[in-house]
Structure 1
């Protein structure tokens, strides 16, 4: 529900359950028909997991709906202000096999030092101190993902301006950039590349985004904003962001040159 009214996403979930029931299938029988696990079917019907475009395509085929649910997802659910199954950035990071992360504004959250993250949250004094502390604790806790048993493979591309825009004091910047250089050379699952200022204008100017491959093999895009994050899995949206990713990746310096630039700019902050 949003503002006391049923959202299109909630309606879609309810109709998925009704369609299965009308066919007389259990969740296990539907799972077999669409080649997904029963737990996935259950999570979708509880609104805990978003039905991917592929899932709905197979379900439409199995239930002979003429593509009804795929159209509902594409044309109605995308208009919701509050989709029932939105994971949020933290859940996406936890579920991801890989993350391709473009960030032109600041160091990606999973790679921020505590002092740098605090400076980001305290900027402009817009947040109350207790809210800063809450967000900071959450961000630092999320770093455990990098050192879990199965950390995601992270490829982060940042613009050079990120290295040169001050957040906190000069020591904060120096420590942050040295940490970036260290993690990209020492962590086997993390690579950080820098788009040099000399690259000029490129499609990444449209804003930051994350392309995630989740543990079930599905793909998802995540765009953060001042108000809330947005998640996309429509093929056309993913294709567009993949093209942007390929472009900014092509503009980035090679790994060794990126790391060298991080260390050089860190030295200028010391």
Structure 2
């Protein structure tokens, strides 16, 4: 997080949205701005899409001048965003582990809503569970495994920090009964989930196998909501080979409705915690 408490990834995203808004308000296309400043179109589009990792403060001032922005407060706000976007987040220590912008966005979220089809959600995994997943993925180097676990445990601190996000997870029962690691590791993982019961900001629900076919069978997803109205929610999906961030309102609405339908089919939170405790005891 930056010194102002904001994620640098989110600052970069806000900066890009603001620069696009100012360009469009000035009635200019990317090609027109590119020709005027003798910049490449990719330089402008990368900034607007939040892909410029270290935005140049002087470039922000040049763009403001090109767009006719004269309000010094507006300019200084944009410059501050650019400066904060250049600060390293804790996750930048692990570029080999976190390859997308998701963790930087997650760090700013006020609400995290997730459905998991095949695995325990990452923010609720024990170290032994993580280790078993990595071995299943044929990661053999012990040092690499421990480094990845270290990064993931650091990520989990979001749920125990001051002012944590509201976290709501629905987990397919198949992910809970699948053995990963030895029996004791499996039991500890289930108890870790059950221990979320008293946490007021965390809700865990189990989607039982008895629910039959359900709309979540197409895959897992995460919805991130943010505290500032200007920051649009995002949907995150991950596969074995790629990750995707969806930002269109149509996508947000579709996945929000999907989560509600899954919630209706899942066990209530209290019954889910009882189920998790009983399952752990039976192992």
TM-based fold match above 0.5: yes
Name stretches of at least 5 consecutive residues in structure 1 with no aligned partner.
32-37, 50-85
Residue 89 of structure 1 contacts residue 229 of structure 1 at CA under 8 Å; is this kept in 2?
A: no
For each residue in 1:188-233, what CA deviation from the matched residue of structure 2 results, as whole angstroms up to 9, or x when unmatched?
2111000010111111111111111123243111112223432121
- Equivalent pairs counted in the alignment come to 221
Q: Is residue 2:67 matched to residue 1:23?
A: yes
TM-score by length of 1: 0.72
For each residue in 1:2-48, what CA deviation from the matched residue of structure 2 results, as whole angstroms up to 9, or x when unmatched?
xxx948841746999876432321574657xxxxxx54x44777895
Task: Give, in whole Å, the separation in 2 of the partners of 1:87 and 1:42.
Answer: 24
Q: How does 1:8-87 map to 2 (within 5 A)?
A: 9-10=45-46, 12=48, 20-26=64-70, 28=72, 30=74, 39=77, 41-42=78-79, 48=85
C-alpha distance 268-220 of structure 1, shift in aligned 2 (>3 A): same
Task: Give, in whole Å, the separation in 2 of the partners of 1:105 and 1:8.
Answer: 40
- Equivalent residue for 2:106, pick from 78, 93, 117: 93
Q: How does 1:1-270 map to 2 (within 5 A)?
A: 6=42, 9-10=45-46, 12=48, 20-26=64-70, 28=72, 30=74, 39=77, 41-42=78-79, 48=85, 88-126=101-139, 128-183=141-196, 185-217=197-229, 218=231, 219-269=233-283
Name stretches of at least 5 consecutive residues in structure 2 with no aligned partner.
1-40, 53-58, 87-98
1:249 match: secondary structure = helix
Task: Give, in whole Å, the separation in 1 of the partners of 2:271 and 2:153.
Answer: 28
Relative to structure 2, which stretch is displaced further, 93-102 or 8-17?
8-17
1:267 match: secondary structure = helix
TM-score by length of 2: 0.69
The alignment's C-alpha RMSD in Å is 2.9
Residue 157 of structure 1 contacts residue 252 of structure 1 at CA under 8 Å; is this kept in 2?
A: yes
TM-superposed deviation, 1:154: 0.2
C-alpha distance 167-44 of structure 1, shift in aligned 2 (>3 A): same
Residue 101 of structure 1 contacts residue 155 of structure 1 at CA under 8 Å; is this kept in 2?
A: yes
Residue 101 of structure 1 contacts residue 156 of structure 1 at CA under 8 Å; is this kept in 2?
A: yes
Task: Give, in whole Å, the separation in 2 of the partners of 1:7 and 1:232.
Answer: 22
2:94 maps to none
Residue 61 of structure 2 contacts residue 79 of structure 2 at CA under 8 Å; is this kept in 1?
A: no
Residue 100 of structure 2 contacts residue 243 of structure 2 at CA under 8 Å; is this kept in 1?
A: no
Task: Give, in whole Å, the separation in 2 of the partners of 1:230 and 1:27.
Answer: 36
